[in-house]
């Protein structure tokens, strides 16, 4: 309870609300009395804030565009071929250089070097995703999000050498260059390449040519099967052709044309040059014989190793139980196995030597086959007319295949290009074309308003304190005067 002393010596009670009214009234009176000072402080605070903003945060010319990437793999930030995507690749140095070369105006070398620091790419994260990320962070969980929308921004000081239209043109050139490179890499990739040297048919014999064709077709078929799994029932809008149709043509060539030609050539031992073919076979036989000698040498080392192990009682030869068993037939006992386990060197050497013996036997079979081929070629008794007839037939069929296979490959590549083009429609879209505006790093209006509010409260506080001090001093002077009068 508050009390006050009256002139008649009695105390009167002042209710709280009356004190509040007096306090508010007092504040209002302070505000009215010091209004000039408060207004001046507000103006000074706003002016100082504006000066600081102007000096420290100059106006910048800001140009930005928004793009959206929609292609297979983007959901995990990968390109269609599985390689990793990074948003900085949108403004890679090669992209920038190509885009600058396409501009209508010329950019100096000095500014070309600075462009990398002026242009930035920033991902766009929707508000709801940001909220989910914040909640996951509170739960100490990791939230993975792969954005597909990006802001490409070009920021310079106002009055820089680049005008707003020039910056808009440059950003558009960068985006178009990135799109073109993407479409070239993933939209024009050939499905298969089939080509033959200029003198391929002249230098190789019939069977060798058919073997090359067979390998090419196997690879072609594998590529088509993979593409069919990806493209499904895609059919060209221009030709009506599908990948399955091309596959059927290849299978027909494999099962009919190549099979018939190979059977005819092998049965008739048809060749372009018998002596040349025989010479090639004999050269192969010489190489086989040389390899067989090396393998036999390795096998001999194995036998010597086995003899040494026998002397050390590491194994028991089967010939002890059966004298008719040859030296090569060996029964390894448990002690040998234990020793081999303990000593990897002997185990590895023995295995290599045994493999060499098997390879020597296989080479011997190949040598016998080539020798039989030579004998069949030498005793070929076809008449000249028959040989000419077969030669013309096989030569025409091979020449036809030599043109048909590249044509099939070209048709497959054209169909693949059409398929990829359809798949890449809208892969890189411009959601917002380049727009320019002048901005500051911070909002001048907000800072100016905050400074004025701060200036007002600071000035009002100073005014209240000053007024209270003046009032208290005045009251003290009056009280002293009253006390002196009463004492007198």
Structure tokens at 341: 């386990």
Query: In percent, how much of the chain has pLDDT > 90?
Result: 28
Mean pLDDT of 391-395: 90
**Does residue 156 surpass a pLDDT of 60?**
yes
pLDDT (0 to 100) of residue 479: 65
- 67 and 163 housed in the same domain: yes
- 27 and 69 housed in the same domain: no
Q: Domain boundary residue among 162, 187, 212?
A: 187
**Does residue 148 surpass a pLDDT of 90?**
yes
Asked whether residue 319 is domain-assigned, the answer is yes
Asked whether residue 8 is domain-assigned, the answer is yes
**Does residue 12 surpass a pLDDT of 70?**
no
**Does residue 13 surpass a pLDDT of 50?**
no
Structure tokens at 428: 């890189």
Report the DSSP pairing between strands 119-123 and 60-69.
unpaired
Q: What is the mean pLDDT of the chain?
A: 80
Q: Mean pLDDT check: name the lowest of 145-154, 329-338, 392-401, 460-469.
A: 329-338
Query: In percent, how much of the chain has pLDDT > 70?
Result: 80
- 106 and 38 housed in the same domain: no
Mean pLDDT of 235-245: 91
pLDDT, one tens digit per residue, over 340-367 is: 444 555 666 667 777 887 888 888 888 8
Half-sphere exposure of 306 (CA within 13 A, CB side): 20
pLDDT (0 to 100) of residue 483: 59
In sequence order, the β-bridge partners of residue 152 are 65, 121
pLDDT (0 to 100) of residue 34: 84
pLDDT (0 to 100) of residue 344: 57
Asked whether residue 22 is domain-assigned, the answer is yes
Structure tokens at 195: 């080509």
Residue that is written with structure tokens 């386990």 in the block: 341
Q: Mean pLDDT check: name the lowest of 162-176, 309-323, 434-448.
A: 309-323
Half-sphere exposure of 133 (CA within 13 A, CB side): 10
Mean pLDDT of 416-432: 90
Closest listed residue to residue 154, CA positions, set 423, 435, 430: 435
Please give, one letter per residue, the 3-state secondary structure of the chain.
CEEEECCCCCEEEECHHHHHHHHHHHHHHHHHHCHHHHHHHHHHHHHHHHHHHHHHCCCEEEEEEEEEECCCCHHHCECCCCCECCHHHHHCHHHHHHHHHCCCCCCCHHHHHHHHHHEEEEECCCHHHHHHHHHHHHCCCCCCCCCCEEEEEEEEECCCCCCHHHHHHHHHHHHHHHHHHHHHHHHCCCCCCCCCCCCHHHHCCHHHHHHHHHHHHHHHHHHHHHHHHHHCCCECCCCCCEHHHHHHHHHHHHHHHHHHHHHHHHHHCCCCCHHHHHHHHHHHHHHHHHHHHHHHHHHHHHHHHHHHHHHCCCCEEHHHHCCCCCCCCEECCHHHHHHHHHCHHHHHHHHHHHHHHHHHHHHHHHHHHHHHHHHHHHCCCCCHHHHHHHHHHHHHHHHHHHHHHHHHHHHHHHHHHHHHHHHCCCCEEEEEEEEEEEECCCCHHHHHHHHHHHHHHHHHHHHHHHHHHHHHHHHHHHHHHHHHHHHC
Q: Domain boundary residue among 187, 222, 256?
A: 187
- 27 and 75 housed in the same domain: no
pLDDT (0 to 100) of residue 66: 96
- 48 and 100 housed in the same domain: no
Asked whether residue 256 is domain-assigned, the answer is no
- 341 and 281 housed in the same domain: yes
pLDDT band at 2; cut points 50, 70, 90: very low
**Does residue 381 surpass a pLDDT of 50?**
yes
Mean pLDDT of 424-434: 91
Print burial letters for 66-99: b (CB count within 10 Å at least 16), e (below 16).
bbbbebebbeeeebbeeeebebeebbbeebbebb
Asked whether residue 468 is domain-assigned, the answer is yes
Q: Mean pLDDT check: name the lowest of 337-351, 407-421, 435-449.
A: 337-351
Q: Domain boundary residue among 187, 214, 231?
A: 187
- 19 and 88 housed in the same domain: no
pLDDT (0 to 100) of residue 249: 94
Mean pLDDT of 214-225: 94
Question: What pTM was estimated for this model as a whole?
Answer: 0.55
Closest listed residue to residue 225, CA positions, set 424, 407, 412: 412
**Does residue 190 surpass a pLDDT of 80?**
yes
pLDDT band at 482; cut points 50, 70, 90: low
Asked whether residue 338 is domain-assigned, the answer is yes
Specify which of 196-210, 249-263, 342-356 reaches the highest per-range mean pLDDT: 249-263
Give me the phi and psi of 166, to 5 degrees please: -65, -40
pLDDT (0 to 100) of residue 472: 76
- 67 and 49 housed in the same domain: no
pLDDT (0 to 100) of residue 122: 94
Structure tokens at 306: 């086995």
Asked whether residue 417 is domain-assigned, the answer is no
Beta carbons within 10 angstroms of residue 353's beta carbon: 20
Q: How many domains, the chain?
A: 3
Check which CATH number belongs to the domain holding 175 and give it. Answer: 3.30.1890
- 11 and 90 housed in the same domain: no
pLDDT band at 397; cut points 50, 70, 90: very high
Asked whether residue 424 is domain-assigned, the answer is no
**Does residue 208 surpass a pLDDT of 80?**
yes
- 76 and 181 housed in the same domain: yes
Containing domain of residue 141, as a range? 60-187
- 17 and 122 housed in the same domain: no
pLDDT, one tens digit per residue, over 112-139 is: 777 878 899 999 999 999 888 888 888 8
- 249 versus 51: which is more confidently predicted? 249
pLDDT (0 to 100) of residue 328: 43
- 183 and 78 housed in the same domain: yes
Mean pLDDT of 265-277: 79
pLDDT (0 to 100) of residue 175: 95
- 452 versus 225: which is more confidently predicted? 225
pLDDT (0 to 100) of residue 440: 67
């Amino acid at each position: 309870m508050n009390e006050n002393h009256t002139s008649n010596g009695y105390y009167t009670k002042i209710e709280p609300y009356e004190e509040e009214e007096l306090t508010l009234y007092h504040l209002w009176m302070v505000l009215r009395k010091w209004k000039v000072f408060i207004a001046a402080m507000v103006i000074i605070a706003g002016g100082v804030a504006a000066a600081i903003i102007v000096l420290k945060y100059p106006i910048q010319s800001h140009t930005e565009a928004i793009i959206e990437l929609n292609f297979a793999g983007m959901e995990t930030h990968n390109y269609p071929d599985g390689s990793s995507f990074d948003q900085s690749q949108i403004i890679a140095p090669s992209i920038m250089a190509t885009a600058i070369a396409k501009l209508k105006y010329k950019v100096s070398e000095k500014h070309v070097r600075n462009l990398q620091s002026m242009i930035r790419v920033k991902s766009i994260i929707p508000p709801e995703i940001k909220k989910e990320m914040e909640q996951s962070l509170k739960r100490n969980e990791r939230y993975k999000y792969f954005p597909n929308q990006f802001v490409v921004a070009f920021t310079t000081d106002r009055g820089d050498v680049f005008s707003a239209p020039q910056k808009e043109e440059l950003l558009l050139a960068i985006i178009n260059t990135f799109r073109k490179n993407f479409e070239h890499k993933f939209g024009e990739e050939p499905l298969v390449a089939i080509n033959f040297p200029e003198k391929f048919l002249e230098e190789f014999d019939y069977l060798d040519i058919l073997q090359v064709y067979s390998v090419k077709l196997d690879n072609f078929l594998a590529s088509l099967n993979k593409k069919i799994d990806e493209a499904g029932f895609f059919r060209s809008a221009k030709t009506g052709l599908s990948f399955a149709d091309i596959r059927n043509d290849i299978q027909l060539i494999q099962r009919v044309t190549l099979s018939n030609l190979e059977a005819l050539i092998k049965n008739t031992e048809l060749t372009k040059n018998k002596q040349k073919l025989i010479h090639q076979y004999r050269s192969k036989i010489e190489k086989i014989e040389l390899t067989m000698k090396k393998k036999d040498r390795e096998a001999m080392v194995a036998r010597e190793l086995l003899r040494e192990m026998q002397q050390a009682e590491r194994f028991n030869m089967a010939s002890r139980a059966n004298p008719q068993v040859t030296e090569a037939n060996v029964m390894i006992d448990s002690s040998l196995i234990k020793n081999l386990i303990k000593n990897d060197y002997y185990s590895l050497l023995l295995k290599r030597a045994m493999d060499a013996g098997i390879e020597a036997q296989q080479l011997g079979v190949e040598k016998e086959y080539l020798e039989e081929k030579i004998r069949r070629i030498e005793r070929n008794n076809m008449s000249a007319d028959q040989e000419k007839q077969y030669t013309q037939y096989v030569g025409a069929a091979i020449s036809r295949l030599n043109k048909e296979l590249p044509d099939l490959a070209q048709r497959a590549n054209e169909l693949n290009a059409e398929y990829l083009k359809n798949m890449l429609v809208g892969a890189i879209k411009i959601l917002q074309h380049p727009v320019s505006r002048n901005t500051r790093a911070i909002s001048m209006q907000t800072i100016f308003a905050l400074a004025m509010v701060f200036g007002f409260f600071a000035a009002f506080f100073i005014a209240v304190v000053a007024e209270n001090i003046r009032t208290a001093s005045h009251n003290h002077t009056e009280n002293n005067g009253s006390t002196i009068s009463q004492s007198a």
